[in-house]
Amino acid sequence: MNYIRGEIHCRYWKQETGAPMPLLVLLSENAGEPKVKPQVFLSEKFQQKFPCSMLLVEAGADLNAWEPAKALRSLLFELEAEQPEVIDGCRMYLIGSSAAWTIGSRFPRRFAAVVALGGRGDPHAARSMKFTPVWAFGSTQPGDRRLPASPKYTAAALRSCGSQYVRYTEVPVEKSIWDTAFSSSYEVSTWMFEQNRRKMFEVTYLRPGVFRIDDYFTSSAYLVCGTEKALLIDTGMGEGDLHALVRSLTPLPVEVAVTHPHEDHMANAAGFSKTWLHQHDIEAMDENRAEMAKVFGRKLSPAPKPEQLYPLNNGTKINLGGEVIIEAVELGGHTPNSVVFIDRAHECVFTGDAIGSGYIALMICSREQWRQMISHYRDELLRFQKYLPSLQNYAWYGGHFIQENGCDLDRQEDYLSGSSTYYLPISEDVVNDMALLCGRLLSGEIPESQFLSGPEHYCEFQNAGMIFRITDL
């Protein structure tokens, strides 16, 4: 099957096995004379060992340029959306030379692994792949300080920024890099097919004692450290070993506090000994989990046992030691009992999904429930406003950090190439505008037909936006 997107021409081989399979993305950087050898991956022997689909990308222009790279990214999202039964979006593997460095650097969350076969890369841009598994191959050559840099130096740049997932193999000049990487030993292929974005986490240092942890679902958890213990605010939906990751960040005992009981915010909570959750959500645990199973269409991760659950209410304070006290403040709407956590020692507010994450607040209800839900949400927002004067100059952190750059998955990483067109941080402005938006919905100033019958069920006012997921449509 052939695809043409702008200046790139692609050939696609689909492997249908009854379950989503990995997708190999091969970059042929000389149109009509590919350096890559797709027949290696299409052979019966390879497919028996590593069943996968394959996309061969042939460009009429430089694949290092922005437009061809953007066209490829859009095509990958299109294929994943159109063929979810064929393509596993968390197991896409990028193989190429110079363009593999460029495209991997621009879209590091798109690929589960990058194999860079020679070529030269920008070591500064490549640091965005800090949490992307990369295996680079380069030929023996004298070192130099020119940019783009050799694979050896670009791999070194990844190590120097803290990457634990980069490998480099030196290939003598008389040998073929391609044959060395994809010989009959299958070492590189085995490594590549073991990589899975579902098991990967990204860790960002925010300030002393505060870390953000992002998973493949772009859910954000936050680790806050005191002197006596640490608190993990939400746990995301990642399938990797979150407990081991947290232990590598702090030796302190770690407790969990959950903003709201959605699967993408508490899927890993059972792995910790103590989980703080709103009292009403503890009481409605079975009901909430049944709803989440329908929303996500998958088997849920184990729930914390009753003895692991500790009730939160408005005003509950969790003392971490060293004057680090986390205060729970109710802000129901996204869920009836959503909680915001205020950390005055670090001057941070952790909002979960209570007011969105820079784009929209998601409201899940039936057609008959929306007015009651929005009325409750407005009351909660108006009550929360009394906290705003004391939160001036605080950092606000939502449950999906990447959404400050919008919710269009095809555009969220544009900031890595200076091509973003959207930015909205969470702030007191969003709280105030969300309350005003609720008022316009209830008064009819924004007609019901606009957000219930429109294709996106979307409405907005200034810095606030909502999307309705109507359960009985």
pLDDT of 473 reads 66
Q: Are residues 165 and 285 in the same domain?
A: no
Q: Are residues 351 and 400 in the same domain?
A: yes
Q: What distance in Å separates the CA atoms of residue 410 and residue 110, rounded to the nearest whole number?
A: 10
pLDDT of 2 reads 87
Say how many C-beta atoms besides its own lie within 10 A of residue 462's C-beta. Answer: 12
Q: Are residues 254 and 140 in the same domain?
A: no
On the question of pLDDT at 313 being above 50, the answer is: yes
Q: Are residues 402 and 301 in the same domain?
A: yes
Asked if 264 and 283 count as a contact pair (C-beta separation under 8 A), the reply is no
The mean per-residue pLDDT over the stretch 460-469 comes to: 94
pLDDT of 30 reads 66
How confident is residue 173, by pLDDT bands cut at 50, 70 and 90? confident
pLDDT of 472 reads 76
Q: Are residues 122 and 135 in the same domain?
A: yes
Q: Are residues 187 and 205 in the same domain?
A: no
Using one digit for the tens of pLDDT, what is the confidence trace for 77-112? 999 999 999 999 999 999 999 999 999 999 999 999
pLDDT of 35 reads 67
Q: What distance in Å separates the CA atoms of residue 139 and residue 147, rounded to the nearest whole number?
A: 17
How confident is residue 262, by pLDDT bands cut at 50, 70 and 90? very high
Report the CATH number at residue 317: 3.60.15.10
How confident is residue 221, by pLDDT bands cut at 50, 70 and 90? very high
Sequence-distant (6+) residues with CB within 8 A of 1 are 11, 12, 13, 14
Helix, strand, or coil here: 380?
Answer: helix
Rg for the chain, CA atoms, rounded: 24
Q: Are residues 124 and 248 in the same domain?
A: no
Q: Are residues 180 and 230 in the same domain?
A: no
The mean per-residue pLDDT over the stretch 44-50 comes to: 94
Q: Which residue has the higher pLDDT, 36 or 333?
A: 333
pLDDT of 62 reads 85
Burial of 215 (0-12, 13-18, 19+ CB in 10 A): buried
pTM: 0.95
Say how many C-beta atoms besides its own lie within 10 A of residue 323's C-beta. Answer: 10
Q: What distance in Å separates the CA atoms of residue 378 and residue 360, rounded to the nearest whole number?
A: 15
The mean per-residue pLDDT over the stretch 465-469 comes to: 93
On the question of pLDDT at 375 being above 80, the answer is: yes
How confident is residue 5, by pLDDT bands cut at 50, 70 and 90? confident
Strand order in the sheet with 458-461: 361-365, 464-470, 458-461
On the question of pLDDT at 32 being above 50, the answer is: no
On the question of pLDDT at 261 being above 80, the answer is: yes
Q: What distance in Å separates the CA atoms of residue 272 and residue 274, rounded to the nearest whole number?
A: 6
On the question of pLDDT at 244 being above 80, the answer is: yes
On the question of pLDDT at 210 being above 90, the answer is: yes
Q: Which of 170, 197, 224 represents a domain boundary (last residue)?
A: 197
Instruction: Tell me the angle at which helices 370-384 and 428-443 cross, rounded to the nearest 10 degrees.
Output: 140
Report the CATH number at residue 166: 3.40.50.1820
pLDDT of 36 reads 76
| Residues above pLDDT 70, as percent of the chain | 97
Q: Which domain holds residue 406?
A: 201-470
Maximum separation of any 2 CA atoms in the chain, in Å: 76
How confident is residue 384, by pLDDT bands cut at 50, 70 and 90? very high
On the question of pLDDT at 31 being above 60, the answer is: no
Residue 58's beta-bridge partner residues?
Answer: 9, 28
On the question of pLDDT at 60 being above 80, the answer is: no
Q: Which of 197, 227, 254 represents a domain boundary (last residue)?
A: 197
pLDDT of 386 reads 97
On the question of pLDDT at 440 being above 60, the answer is: yes
Q: CA distances (Å), 75 to each of 15, 28, 31, 63, 371, in order?
A: 17, 16, 18, 14, 39
Q: CA distances (Å), 235 to each of 94, 259, 328, in order?
A: 29, 10, 17
On the question of pLDDT at 278 being above 90, the answer is: yes
User: Domain total for the chain?
Assistant: 2
pLDDT of 142 reads 64
Nearest in space to 223 (alpha carbons), one of 329, 72, 333, 326: 326
Terminal Cα-to-Cα distance of the chain (whole angstroms): 36
Q: Are residues 25 and 135 in the same domain?
A: yes
Q: Which of 162, 197, 232 represents a domain boundary (last residue)?
A: 197
Alpha-carbon 436 to chain mean position = 30
Q: Are residues 134 and 245 in the same domain?
A: no
Q: Are residues 398 and 326 in the same domain?
A: yes
Nearest in space to 240 (alpha carbons), one of 303, 296, 189, 196: 196
Mean pLDDT (the chain) is 93
Q: Are residues 44 and 59 in the same domain?
A: yes
On the question of pLDDT at 212 being above 80, the answer is: yes
Q: What distance in Å separates the CA atoms of residue 356 and residue 398, rounded to the nearest whole number?
A: 7
Q: Which two tokens stand for residue 27?
A: 């970059």
